[in-house]
Amino acid sequence: MSRRGAFIGQVARDTGLSIHTIRFYEAQRLLPHASRTQSGYRVYSAEDMEQLKFIKGAQELGFSLSEIRELAILRSRSTEACGHVKSLLEEKLESVRAKRRELEKIEKDLKQSLAQCERQLRRSHSGERQPCPVLVRLGREG
């Protein structure tokens, strides 16, 4: 990056974000509006690049944009914010654990449904014609 900054294409390459995403973050006010050259090109500072990397890192941890907005505010408060960030991380971890439990239940249900299909297919090969038990069950549950 030059002393005066980098254009959006270079920032996109350096951060691994798309140009569209960077513009979206500006529109959502997660990133300050970039300064512009006389010809209207966006120019991003080193601080902007750092903020984009922060946003990307927070998203990789599963934080939503509103949570990232809160984290960005806390980030400016340095060590005073650590207790609050710890609470946010604990909440996010519990949310991930709950999602994992839900996915494990879905996996179990899918395995059971697959076993029912396999049994039904074996029966149908022996000449026994019956409706798919999974479709029947889904019709009852829906």
**Rounded CA gap, 132 and 117, in Å?**
7
- Which pLDDT value is given to residue 44? 94
> Does pTM top 0.85 for this prediction?
no
**Rounded CA gap, 53 and 34, in Å?**
16
Please write the tens of the pLDDT for every residue from 117-128: 888 888 777 776
Checking if the pLDDT of 17 tops 90, the result is yes
Neighbour count for residue 53 (Cβ, 10 Å): 14
- Which pLDDT value is given to residue 139? 78
Checking if the pLDDT of 3 tops 60, the result is no
Checking if the pLDDT of 1 tops 70, the result is no
Mean pLDDT, rounded, for 16-39 = 92
**CATH classification for the domain delimited by 6-76, as one of 1.10.1660.10, 3.60.70.12, 1.10.357.10, 1.10.10.10:** 1.10.1660.10
Q: Where are the alpha helices (DSSP H) in the chain?
A: 8-15, 19-27, 46-60, 65-75, 82-125, 133-141
